[in-house]
Structure 1
Amino acid sequence: MFNKEDFVGNWTAFITPFEEYESIDRDAFDNLLQKQVDAGIKGVLLLGTTAEYPTLSREEDTQITLRGIDIINQNASVMVNIGTNSTYETLENLKKYENIPGIDAYLVVNPYYNKPTQSGLYKHFKVIADESSRPIIVYNIKGRTGVNLETSTLLQLINDTNNIVGVKEASGDIKQISDVIQQTPNDFVVLAGDDGMTYHTIKSGGDGAVGVASNLLPQETTKFVNSGLSGNMQDFEDWSKYLQEFFDNEGIQTNPLPIKTALSYTGDIKEIFRLPLCPMDDDYKKNWLEVVKGYINT
């Protein structure tokens, strides 16, 4: 049964740490995830873009999900990305996870590369929702998928399904975010899909964020989000100003390069990516780590 409060708050789009030869670093995974739980994070998104999901095998997907559920142990909510650019592959992912306990919701992204019409987007999400026994959070990110889920299409999906309960909104369009918040039902969850839009989303009446910065700064970002949700606007403003430089610079190169580089600098993980992702360019890395030092040495 859907409970909106299970989704309201600060979520982390969790990374995947790798060992040499690009195997999953299970010790680093366990330690980082435990830090999330200890920081009081609302929930963790597994297998998202930040996790380098397109480079993972389906066997690794299952291993990561099972391990994540075990470590979190009901101390936070768990969202698992099942979305691909193929409706039928997404349905296969759905079937794989349906019998695994401990998953609170699925994330389903706009089909990337295909650039479907609004009718195609509607049919894609509707087919998946009809087959799912769990709540679905739609992920609207035009920058990575080439297509925007229009608010009218989202409203139609909410009306025609029982389990599309929220959206991770990363359109980058302030007006669209505001429209989604204002036009969706009160029990619909609107989460900022990028850190830089968290302040606006919550101030406009949204319900939290699924962010990247919280991989490194789980306590700080949780205090930021929770202060806004609780109406403590002075703290909310102060945290926003404090975190702004980090948010402004974490996109200096493609996600998850900067956040994994920062976690490597702190010794939490090894600086290893899977192609086509690779270490940051030297100049960008130098500038980025100067920003990071200001947050981990204070």
Structure 2
Amino acid sequence: MNFSGAYTALVTPFRDGKIDEERFREHIEWQITEGIHGLVPCGTTGESATLTHDEHKEAIRICVEQANKRVPVLAGAGSNNTKEAVHLATFAEEAGADGTLLISPYYNKPTQEGIYQHFKHIAEAISLPIVLYNVPGRTGSNVLPSTVARLHKDLPQIVGIKEATGDLIQVSDLIEQCGSSFTVISGDDFTVLPLLSVGGSGVISVISNLLPNKMASLCTAWNNGDIETARKLHFEMQPLNRAMFMESNPIPVKTALALQGKMDTDFRLPMVPLAEANLERLKSIMTEAGLL
């Protein structure tokens, strides 16, 4: 499967310390109605690092059920523990996900060979298409283009990567070394349009939790050759993109959804509510964007 276009890195609504299934299903349904191209449960934006294994599985199950094959579900199943990642990826496959998103091992800081062996071990345990996730700012290590090219060559089910380095030289090197059969997806809402311009395929987006139609329209406009519309949408979203990272993701985006009445502002420690001064800034930016 080719994971292209705009995919939403879904927030995970909580209520009373548990996943709020009703609000989660409503959010997924709204995303599909608004024209999003795909869904990603249990990523960074979904607070995956603080979900129990049972909750992680529950979030994937709910998303797969609610999507009901109307759009692809790329289920987050990564871990810095290879055995744990195999367990979660195996569940994603059993639950009916269309693919799995696997972050590179965080905290351990493995060598490039260790990163290669980690992903190779997971790929040999499942048959789902795999999209890698490279975000050095959170993991402490960078998955180099040469390592990605080696993985794609040796393990064809590794079909793409979510690139969140913000480094367009690295993106260009990836596309050059991996070839047109490999999907490079932006993991950074600021760089979707530049990434598309060098041959990227789309985005796994935070802001599309709020603006699914606009982000999907940007990708569609680019693919249709309507560069002017894509550029217009890019700049329209930039103020809100900046607001989504005024504090650590997903604090601002979940707060924004709560301000719209779509879910509670319920975070898992060590995530905490948005600072009061930033809350006022967020309200102002959302009002200007027509979201409040």
**TM bucket by the smaller chain?**
over 0.9
Q: Give TM-score, length-normalised by structure 2.
A: 0.97
Gaps of 5+ in 2: none
Please give the root-mean-square deviation of Cα atoms over the aligned residues, in Å: 1.2
Aligned to 1:229: 223
Following the alignment from structure 1 to structure 2, what is the Cα–Cα distance between the partners of residues 147 and 121? 9
Following the alignment from structure 1 to structure 2, what is the Cα–Cα distance between the partners of residues 71 and 44? 11
Cα deviation, residue 297, structure 1? 4.4
Aligned to 1:36: 31
- Return the letter of the residue paired with 2:276: D
Q: Give the one of 207, 216, 236 matched to 2:210.
A: 216
Q: Is structure 2 residue 112 aligned with structure 1 residue 104?
A: no
Cα deviation, residue 100, structure 1? 2.2
Aligned to 2:7: 11
Following the alignment from structure 2 to structure 1, what is the Cα–Cα distance between the partners of residues 115 and 261? 41
Aligned to 1:129: 123
What is the total number of aligned residue pairs between the two structures?
Answer: 292
Aligned to 1:283: 277
Identity across the alignment (%):
35
Contact 2:93/2:99 (CA < 8 Å) preserved in 1? no
Q: Give the one of 50, 55, 76 matched to 1:55.
A: 50
Gaps of 5+ in 1: none
Following the alignment from structure 2 to structure 1, what is the Cα–Cα distance between the partners of residues 72 and 39? 6
- Return the letter of the residue paired with 2:52: S
Aligned to 1:200: 194
Cα deviation, residue 184, structure 1? 1.6
Contact 1:208/1:229 (CA < 8 Å) preserved in 2? no
Cα deviation, residue 183, structure 1? 2.3
Aligned to 2:17: 22
Cα shift readout 1:228-260 (whole Å, capped 9, x = no counterpart): 122210101111111111112211100000000
Aligned to 2:184: 190
Cα deviation, residue 149, structure 1? 0.3
Contact 2:13/2:20 (CA < 8 Å) preserved in 1? yes
Following the alignment from structure 1 to structure 2, what is the Cα–Cα distance between the partners of residues 248 and 34? 26
Helix, strand or coil for the counterpart of 2:73?
A: strand
- Return the letter of the residue paired with 2:21: R
Following the alignment from structure 2 to structure 1, what is the Cα–Cα distance between the partners of residues 62 and 141? 33
Cα shift readout 1:273-295 (whole Å, capped 9, x = no counterpart): 11111101111221122111222
Contact 1:14/1:50 (CA < 8 Å) preserved in 2? yes
Q: Give TM-score, length-normalised by structure 1.
A: 0.95
Contact 1:13/1:48 (CA < 8 Å) preserved in 2? yes
Cα deviation, residue 171, structure 1? 1.2
Contact 2:60/2:95 (CA < 8 Å) preserved in 1? no
Contact 1:84/1:90 (CA < 8 Å) preserved in 2? yes
- Return the letter of the residue paired with 2:258: S
Helix, strand or coil for the counterpart of 1:16?
A: coil
Helix, strand or coil for the counterpart of 1:149?
A: coil
Q: Give the one of 84, 87, 93 matched to 2:88.
A: 93
